[in-house]
Amino acid sequence: MATAVKVTVVYYSATGHVTDIAREIADTAEKASAEVRLRRVAELAPQEVIASQPAWAANVAATAGIPLATVEDVVWADAVLMGSPTRFGNIAAQLKQFLDTLGGAWKRGELADKIYSGFTSTGSPHGGNESTLLALMHSFHHFGGIVVAPGFTHPDKFVDGNPYGTAHHDAGGTVPVGDVTRNAARVQTERVVRLAKALTAATL
Ligand SMILES: Cc1cc2nc3c(=O)[nH]c(=O)nc-3n(C[C@H](O)[C@H](O)[C@H](O)COP(=O)(O)O)c2cc1C
């Protein structure tokens, strides 16, 4: 019997939009028969700042049961999907902090030859979703990763229109993750799992 491909979903989210995408990705990967680890990265913001923003506090409470990401979660995986809200056109510091813990694994060559793919959420439709996804890819290239972007490989991609990865825009926190974003996440994940299966079959 073929071994299930191993997928790790690593994300940061303050107010929950990226959490929703991460959960959709994890569910889709499981439905595609992958073994999945859903992991959030550690929060860096002070507790009083979080508590002063209801959406942020609600997301922290709702995701308390999701384990914190470790270096081993990335080393373990055949495919890694990473997500972050857009912060000034870039990834959030919390995810960057986690990326910076990967130096030892990188040096040992343990991050190479895996599939990597990214997802994000922005406040506005042109607020930097593409630059955030491309910023994630900077690190993926350093890892020696195989970057799998969704491209326009499925009819749904002509609806959300982002070939670099799944990107929601929340219109200033007023638009929850809906069908367009969920469909994009499913297309991206199914492609990642399919190619991870091919890659692991080729290298076993
Ligand atoms: C400090 C900060 C910087 C942000 N920078 C951008 C930005 O450059 N472009 C944008 O469209 N939205 C920006 N946003 C909005 C978030 O990217 C957006 O609300 C996102 O959906 C939040 O995801 P989350 O709910 O998973 O935390 C910023 C938000 C914060 C708090």
Within-domain flag for 41: yes
Q: Which residue type does 5 have?
A: V
Among all chains, which residue has been given the structure tokens 């991870």?
A: 196
Q: Decide: 128 in ligand 1 pocket, CB within 6 A.
A: yes
Q: Which two tokens stand for residue 72?
A: 């081993």
Q: How many domains does the chain contain in total?
A: 1
Within-domain flag for 130: yes
Q: Decide: 52 in ligand 1 pocket, CB within 6 A.
A: no
Which pLDDT does position 3 carry in this prediction?
A: 83
State the distance from the centre of ligand 1 to the C-alpha of 93, rounded, in angstroms.
12
Within-domain flag for 1: no
Question: pTM value?
Answer: 0.98
Within-domain flag for 55: yes
Residue range of the domain that includes 14: 6-203
Tens-digit pLDDT profile for residues 138-149: 999 999 999 999
Q: Which two tokens stand for residue 8?
A: 């790790």
Nearest CA to ligand 1 atom 20: 122
Q: Decide: 84 in ligand 1 pocket, CB within 6 A.
A: no
Q: How confident is the model at residue 2 (pLDDT cuts 50, 70, 90)?
A: low
CATH code assigned at 131: 3.40.50.360
